[in-house]
Structure 1
Amino acid sequence: MEEVEKVKAEALQIIGVFQLLPKLVVFDLDYTLWPFYCECRSKHDTPYLFPHSRGILHALKSQNIHAAIASKSPTPDIATTYLDKLGIRSMFVAETNYSN
C-alpha cells in the first residue's frame, strides 16, 4: 500500500498545479488500467493493474473527480470479474461497453 500512497501523492501534486479540474475522467481497461487484453485471458486468472493505476484512481477520488470506464472489450464479463477481483469497481461512477 506504500507504493499506492506514493503514487497518489505524486498525482495530487500534479493535479494541484491546475486551477480547473475535470469533473469526470474516463478510462479504457485493456492496456490503460491493466497490461493485457481481457479476451486473451480467463475469468479464473489473477488480474493485476499497471503499477500506478490504483494510486491515480485514489488521487482522483480524493479530489472528488469522478472516474468511469468506457471499454470495447468483447468479453465484458471477464472485465467485470477483474474489476471485482481487484476491488476497484466501486471507484467508478459508470461503466459502459461498446463491443457491438
Structure 2
Amino acid sequence: MAKSKKPAKPAPDGPSSTPYILPAWLHDGQPLPRLFVFDLDYTLWPFYSDIHISTPIRLVPNSSPPTLADRNGEHFTLYHDAPHILRLLSSLPNTRLAVASKSPVGDLCREVLKLLRLPPAGEGGSDKGPKRTVDAFDGGLEIYEGSKLRHFEVIAKRTGVPFGQMLFFDDERPNLEVESLGVTMRLIRDGLTWEELEKGIMQWRGNLGVDG
C-alpha cells in the first residue's frame, strides 16, 4: 500500500522558531479565519500514527522539544514550527482550532496530543507557561476513518463557524473535497511551517475576496 511507503522521519532541522517575532499577517488589519483545522499525520507530525508508533508511549524527561518514546525506543514529536504556531493561534481572540484526521487510532492520537506540551506564549501572549497540545483544540478533535466531509460537518455543527470561515491544512490531495463545502484547504508537503501558515492565510483571504 502507498501508505506504508512513507517512512517516519524526524522533524526537520532548522533555525529555532521565535514566538517573540509576530508575523506580519497578525497585525496588518486584514481578517483571519475564525477556525483553523489541522490534519495530524504528516501535517502536525512527521509519521503515521497507526503504523510507526508501538504502544505504550511515554514523554521523554527533559526533552527539548517535548518528545515521546514508544515501546521500541523510537522518538516522536511535532514538526519543528508546529508547537509555536499552535500556541500563537490558540492565544488569539475570536480564533478556534480543531483537528480533522482519518487516523484509525484516535485514542492513541489523543494520548500523543495530551502528552506533548506547547512552549510558552512569549511576549504579548495571553497565557503563561507550557500547556498540553490537546488543550489548543477548543474546536474539537474529529479523528476517525471516513470522508473529511463528515469531519467538517461535525466540526461546523459543534462550533457554529461557517465553512467559509475555516482554513484547513492537510497533506493529501483527495481531501481537497472539503472545498466543495466552502472550506479553504492548504495542501502542504513537508508539514506545518510558518511559511505554509502564511500561504494558507493568504489563500483564504483570496477566496474571501480580501487582498493581503
What TM-score, normalized by structure 1, do the two folds share? 0.82
3-state SS, counterpart of residue 103 of structure 2: coil
- Specify the alignment match of 2:56 in structure 1: 44
Amino acid at match of 2:31: L
Aligned residues: 96
Larger RCO: Structure 1 or Structure 2 (Cα < 8 Å, ≥ 6 residues apart)?
1
1:21-60 deviation per Cα after TM superposition (whole angstroms, max 9, x unaligned)? 1111000111111000000112324230001001101111
- Unaligned runs of 5+ residues in structure 2 are 1-15, 58-67, 69-75, 117-131, 147-212
> Letter of the aligned partner of 1:85 in structure 2?
L
Q: Which runs of 5+ in 1 are unaligned?
A: none
* Stretches of 4+ aligned residues off by more than 4 angstroms: none
Q: Return the TM-score normalized by structure 2.
A: 0.41
Larger Rg: 2
Retained in 1: the 8 A contact 2:105–2:144? no
Q: CA RMSD in A?
A: 1.9
State the partner residue of 2:86: 57
Determine which structure has the larger helix proportion and give its number: 1
Identity %: 34
